[in-house]
Structure 1
Amino acid sequence: MADTPWLTIVGIGEDGAAGLSASAKAALADADVVSGATRHLALLPRLTGEVVPWPVPFDAGIPGLLGHRGRKTVMLVSGDPFWFGAGTSITRHLDAFEWIAHPVPSTFALAAARLGWPLDDTACLGLHAAPLARLRRHIAPTRHALVLVRDGEAVAALARYLTDLGFGGSRLHILEALGGPRERVREMTAAGRAFGDIAHPVAVGIAFAGTGAVLPQASGLPDAWFEHDGQITKRPIRALTLSALAPKPGETLWDIGAGSGSIGIEWLLAHPSTQATAFEADPVRAARIQGNAAALGADRLRIVEGRALDVLEGQAEPDAIFIGGGLSDALLERLWSERGSGTRLVANAVTLESEALLTRWHGMKGGTLLRIDLSEAVPLGTRRGWRASYPVMHWSVML
């Protein structure tokens, strides 16, 4: 195969050809094939190459694009292809020498320029096809966010979402068709009356304001953030457990016997690149885990229903494993026999039988074994006294 690019990825803004570099214009003039969304194609003057509108959904167009290998091909995308853009969806299928890109300013850059907000201190999210709850961890008074949304209905849904959380006073800057002749910037509050004529493409700048609950950034969220039936790793133990699991960017967790899903969810909240799978045999609890994950913006959590020993096979290899339920010799033997060295394992036990099991395995495999006794001050008549929780045995070890 030739060592020169056959594909040129051209970022295009609402000003069409006027905003393109000389190199991008030359690639379009010389192209055998030009592919892009109908809206992007309409922004350009008449093209000499074959014009191929990009289909919906986006992934449906990738095989056709790759089928043009060897022909001079231009793919049109919005703004900067590699800043919440379509670039990586294509280049992951290509070798480095097969493509070249010509970006233009992203919608985020244009929005920051209109509002005077520093991009390095503003949350930027693409919510075209992602749940609004991805915004949850960023919502705090005086903070700012820039989000890309699908249309006017999505703006209205965003306003309702913020209002329902107690942040109806947030200022929403509605930024339509930035950089082009149709550009329009308007303001509203989340709790105010929404505009009924919002045109695509649209971004929203959010200046958060309100008295709603703010999601803490430390490990060990208050238990009240999770729906549960009592089967939850309580806050102090969860903080210690997450510290031992030590999530790192790009890592994957197995949360076995997930209960409420609190460990897997907080693992995902630690960094946007982390992954997690929750194994839960009880279908009611599995549904509750899904609801907790959705509410806290941890929609990356995979939930596998079934007894762990029956459903572990074929799952993505973990960097860390937490056993919160279903602890047994058979489970530990399987994890030890099938996992590569370097996997971190953390297990918590409350019953005497589980404590005996962990004590024995600690003697065989080493690691750190802790016994955690917690008591909470509670009313005792007219005074106060200590109410003890069940002690927890906590084992952390490297497989």
Structure 2
Amino acid sequence: MTAWLHIVGVGEGGVGELPAATRLLVSFAEVVIGPPRFLADLEPIIASHSHPELSSPDEVRQRSLEAVARALLDDGDGPEEPVATDIGDHRVLIEWQPPLANMVEQVLRQRGKPTVVLASGDPMWFGIGASLARHLDAEEFVIHPLASSFQFAAARLHWPLQHVATISLHGRPPEGIHPFILPGHRVLALTSDAGTARHVADALVARGYGQSRMTVLENLGGQDERITETAAELFEADSIGDFYVLGIDCVADVSAPLLPPVPGLPDEAFVTDGQLTKREVRAATIARLAPYPGALLWDVGAGCGSIAIEWMRAARDAEAIAFEREGERLQMIAVNAAALGVPTLRIENGEAPGSLAGMPAPDAIFLGGNVADDALFQACWNALKPGGRLVANAVTLDAEAALYRRQAWLGGDLVRIDVATLDAIGTQHVLRPRLPVTQWAVVKPEQWLAAQP
């Protein structure tokens, strides 16, 4: 398959500052898609000439684009000869139409036409190239990267990039900053507009990181480049524009709570009505569920959402669906998800197993409510992907009996978790036991019995 799409990284200087060979590549595209500030450097060209040796104008344009692309891959200074520059061009300029799903569709509608997408910096670093790669075969497109704004920002700040967290808050909730707020941590963030920095400053102050240094790096690499720095507690967004990278050098107050991505956050980190998997058991549960990048968890009977939230915090791009029937708990889940940096947690209201129907197949399931309900378990087990993991925690005798039956049928590990915490009887100290938790963890095999014997 011949590449019909070329995704070109552009800096603040615009298309005019691209290398000559890359500009030539743009000139042979039938369609150019990008933001208005980049398209402003181009003019739509509509012309028509005949050429008897070639079957169609489309073939001319495709062959011309391929010739230029080959020259670029060969590190040449220009296109291979002959390029049919005398045949004429027909170029259409298309401005991006957010949101992202629309932008992807704008490109996919051009499939087969010689098309160039103009993107900022490195298209594969939180750019449109990364999104399009999920919809295209590798043979269909070529990436022409430029230095990322992250690289420019790290150079200006003299921060070793390998020790910096690079995240995107562009088009995303600014609460996504929370998992990265850690003592001594440095973060570079893409932003949506001036309001993003204001939200981040508020989050830092609320978390006890008001002394953190915030650096706004505007129009990096352009003539209007500007860099300003201040403490989060003193930050004012009135004077900044909408095109900038935000640098954060986290400085914690002595009393700031430590909330790392390692499972087992303090119980006090969650808003709850008491329906909470306690810290020690929660850490053991997440370890058994084994989060990994991009994996999907079902948290069935989510309570305040602690398992789903810690799952998403533990691995890059991990996803979760929290199933809960109680209205007040649904609000608690949403509050906790935002406060702990996973605002994209999906929350589903309804009575399970009915509420599970039609949901994406999970890679892991945590069963924390109605554990003894065989119909609920069967619905979860049927939905789980082969090779997926299911973990169920029981505290009642009925739930324990159900776990024993299922373990005898499907195998897996049964573990009793006993935790005791410091308490007092009069003037004497004791370790007071909590309710023990029986935990069953099992991996679904590729071949399994469809019904319980």
> For 1:347, what is the secondary structure of its paired residue?
strand
- Deviation, 1:195, is 4.8
Contact 2:299 2:323 in 1 (8 A): yes
The correspondence for 2:93, drawn from 51, 70, 89, is: 51
In the alignment, which residue of structure 2 is the partner of 1:165? 207
Cα distance change on mapping 1:68 and 1:388 into 2, 3 Å: closer
- Deviation, 1:356, is 2.2
* 1:305-384 pair list within 5 angstroms: 305-327=349-371, 328-337=373-382, 339-384=384-429
* 1:286-305 pair list within 5 angstroms: 286-305=330-349
> For 1:34, what is the secondary structure of its paired residue?
strand
The correspondence for 1:156, drawn from 193, 198, 209, is: 198
In the alignment, which residue of structure 1 is the partner of 2:84? none
Contact 1:255 1:323 in 2 (8 A): yes
- Aligned-residue Cα RMSD (Å) equals 2.0
Aligned mates of 1:137, 1:56 — CA distance in 2: 27
In the alignment, which residue of structure 2 is the partner of 1:174? 216
TM-score normalised by L of structure 1: 0.93
Per-residue CA deviations over 1:316-369 (Å, capped at 9, x if unaligned) read 112221111111122223344554543322111111222222223333333222
In the alignment, which residue of structure 2 is the partner of 1:221? 265
The correspondence for 1:250, drawn from 274, 278, 294, is: 294
Cα distance change on mapping 1:109 and 1:335 into 2, 3 Å: same
Per-residue CA deviations over 1:255-279 (Å, capped at 9, x if unaligned) read 1111111111111111112221111
Aligned mates of 2:231, 2:385 — CA distance in 1: 53
- Deviation, 1:385, is 1.7
Cα distance change on mapping 1:193 and 1:139 into 2, 3 Å: closer
The correspondence for 1:208, drawn from 250, 263, 275, is: 250
TM-score normalised by L of structure 2: 0.82
Cα distance change on mapping 1:138 and 1:71 into 2, 3 Å: same
Contact 2:363 2:385 in 1 (8 A): no
Aligned mates of 1:340, 1:63 — CA distance in 2: 29
In the alignment, which residue of structure 2 is the partner of 1:233? 277
Cα distance change on mapping 1:23 and 1:213 into 2, 3 Å: farther
Cα distance change on mapping 1:9 and 1:365 into 2, 3 Å: closer
In the alignment, which residue of structure 2 is the partner of 1:284? 328
The correspondence for 1:263, drawn from 303, 307, 313, is: 307
Aligned mates of 2:222, 2:269 — CA distance in 1: 43
Query: How many residues matched?
Result: 396
Cα distance change on mapping 1:177 and 1:385 into 2, 3 Å: same
- Deviation, 1:46, is 4.6
Cα distance change on mapping 1:45 and 1:221 into 2, 3 Å: same
The correspondence for 1:393, drawn from 427, 438, 451, is: 438
- Larger CA Rg, structure 1 vs 2: 2
- Deviation, 1:168, is 1.3
Structure 2 residue 145 is the aligned partner of structure 1 residue 103 = yes
> For 1:191, what is the secondary structure of its paired residue?
helix
Per-residue CA deviations over 1:203-234 (Å, capped at 9, x if unaligned) read 11111113122212322111111111110111
Aligned mates of 1:66, 1:367 — CA distance in 2: 45
In the alignment, which residue of structure 2 is the partner of 1:14? 12
In the alignment, which residue of structure 1 is the partner of 2:132? 90
> For 1:357, what is the secondary structure of its paired residue?
helix
Cα distance change on mapping 1:64 and 1:388 into 2, 3 Å: closer
* 1:69-148 pair list within 5 angstroms: 69-148=111-190
Matched residues, percent identical? Answer: 43
Letter of the 1:28 counterpart: V
- Deviation, 1:186, is 1.4
Aligned mates of 1:214, 1:84 — CA distance in 2: 28
User: Which shifted more, 292-301 or 340-349?
Assistant: 340-349
- Deviation, 1:285, is 0.8
- Deviation, 1:149, is 1.3
